[in-house]
A and B are shown apart, each in its own frame.
Chain A
Amino acid sequence: MRPLTEEETEKVLGKLTYFIGDNVAQLIDRSDGNYCFRNHKERVYYCSEKLMRQASVIAREPLLAFGTCLGKFTKTKKFYLHITALDYLAPYAKNRVWLKSQAEQQFLYGNNILKSGIGRMSEATPSNAGVVVFSMTDTPLGFGVSAKSTQDCKKADPTAVVLLHQCDLGEYIRSEATLT
């Protein structure tokens, strides 16, 4: 376990900014205590200072996880968000999409979303922006990237892909072994 280096911090915060914009500052500087980012075995964990200090007692090898795993660094040092980060993305998300109930399952099985599956979409979503996906009952399901802006989406035909899948709740089952 170690703090992130400057480059790593830049990558992690950059990725978070992609989804929640300026709200990242609220994750860094929290009113309810000190929270920190830690790199442990190339995975980034977000946890309270107290928990971090308790976890640091355990040696590197046996320590599996602590706090919330936001994502991992690949071998080429790119940062990927994991579905476990959804708890922190969902409440702060800038761009949101609500799915119709029939498209929910499609998304949870790891597919992209067509225009026909979208119930609602937040205004002024540009294309290629990070989007958090909700069900119609406001349950966060995952996140992805918008293939079309809200404006273009209105004109597009119902079979056009609007949202590219990145992560969904189904991953808790599909990649149970690798998630921490």
Chain B
Amino acid sequence: MDLIGHFPSTEVQKDVDPMVDVGNLLLIDRQPVTSDSDELKDRARNNTQLLLNAIWQLERQQVEDAVVAILPAPTYRLPREKIIPQPRQPTKWELYAKAKGIKKRTKDKKKFDDLTGEWKPTYGYRRGNDSTKDWVIEIPQNAADPMKDFFEERIEAKKERVAKNEMQRLKNIAKQLNSTVKKGESTDKLIGVGVNPMEKTKQQVRFAADRARAATASAGKFQETIKGEKPNVKTGKKRKFEPNEGKITEENKRALQIFDKIKAKKIKIIEEKAAEIAGPNSSDEGKKERGKKGKKPARMKSEVHRQQWFKNKIKSKKSASARGGRKGKK
């Protein structure tokens, strides 16, 4: 066929036999490398051909539509990716045992319990010969306080042993991490337990209020401020400053703009003050003028009623006093 002439042969001749590890799909060419790029390309092609030849010689299987080769176990040991982990530092007990020559004796995991006649775990849950599960305890003759709870005492002693062991375990870990275990009660804040509102500082209350205000679906955007309320301090925005070495002329222009704003404000205040100083006279005059020339507001119905009510009252008073006078004369 035509096609065969176009492609290089599948049979490859090598001066030095390459190392082929089909398990890893790996081929290592041991021939010295030359700097000719064309030759390198050729070699890469030939080596790939060699590897595929080797794969084709393997046992084959048909999985659905695909032909699959069964790879043998790899022979080449690939180098390790990560460094070998450091051996664990011996614990304090292990050091002590080594110094004293104490050998570890293993006990059986199960122990025969005489009471029940069963094999039970040596340690842990449902262990045999559990001293804390005794139904009766003989009070020792030399007991200092025979009335105390001896059952309780055993449970406490067990708890203490467990706690001590835990502490030693933590100390060993701390030693391995080159830190120390803190003594005394934990000073870490309890999670989920807030500060009592009465004990909060003014600032803490402030921040809490700010946080509460922003805790709406729209992050507090539409939250109205209460009268006299200060704006939120911690908005999460970072301060941003102009560059130090920018254009000074621009900076001064901005300063002048701000200064103009200040001047405008100042004038307003002065006018107000002037009005205040000249206040009582001018405003009185204004009122009088309004009384004379200004448009009178329409009289409200209630006002009319009130006036009538006062008129009636005065009338009735007059009549009453007139009657009273007569009476007095009589």
Binding site for B on A (CB under 8 A): 1-3, 5-6, 9-10, 13-14, 17, 22, 24-25, 28-29, 34-38, 49, 52-53, 56
Contact = CB atoms under 8 A, between A and B. Distances in A.
A3 B259 contact: no
Q: Is the interface of A mostly helix, strand, loop or mixed?
A: helix
Given A3-B241, A17-B266, A37 B255 contact: yes
A34 B248 contact: yes
Interface residues of B, number: 20
A28 B242 contact: no
A22 B245 contact: no
A29 B244 contact: no
Contacts of A25: 256, 259
A14 B245 CA distance: 24
A168 B294 CA distance: 56
B258 A29 contact: no
A3 B266 contact: no
B117 interface: no
B249 A3 contact: no
A13 B244 contact: no
A56 B246 CA distance: 12
B262 interface: yes
A34 B263 contact: no
Contact of A17 (B246, B248, B254, B262): B262
Contacts of B254: 6, 9
B245 A53 contact: yes
Interface in B61-112: none
A2 B259 contact: no
B258 A3 contact: no
- Please provide the 5 A-B residue pairs with the shortest distance between their CB atoms, ordered closest to farther: A34-B248, A3-B242, A2-B241, A49-B248, A28-B255
22 contacts: A1-B244, A2-B241, A2-B244, A3-B242, A3-B243, A3-B244, A6-B254, A9-B254, A9-B258, A10-B261, A13-B255, A13-B262, A17-B266, A25-B256, A28-B259, A29-B256, A34-B248, A34-B252, A36-B248, A36-B251, A37-B255, A56-B245
A28 B252 contact: yes
Contacts of B266: 17
Contacts of B255: 9, 13, 28, 37
A151 to B, nearest CB: 11
Interface residue SS majority, chain B: helix
B295 to A, nearest CB: 38
Contacts of A36: 248, 251-252
Nearest to A38: B244
Contacts of B248: 34-36, 49
A49 B242 CA distance: 15
Nearest to A9: B258
Contact of A6 (B243, B244, B256, B258): B258
Contacts of B245: 53, 56
Nearest to B270: A126
Interface in B230-271: 239, 241-246, 248-249, 251-252, 254-256, 258-259, 261-263, 266
Contacts of A56: 244-245
Given A3-B251, A5-B241, A29-B256, 16 more contacts: A2-B244, A3-B243, A6-B254, A9-B254, A9-B255, A9-B258, A10-B258, A13-B262, A17-B263, A17-B266, A24-B259, A25-B259, A34-B248, A36-B248, A36-B251, A53-B245
Contacts of B262: 10, 13-14, 17
A47 B183 CA distance: 57
B238 to A, nearest CB: 13
Contacts of A14: 262
Nearest to A7: B258
A156 to B, nearest CB: 18
Given A28-B252, A29-B252, A49-B248, A13 B241 contact: no
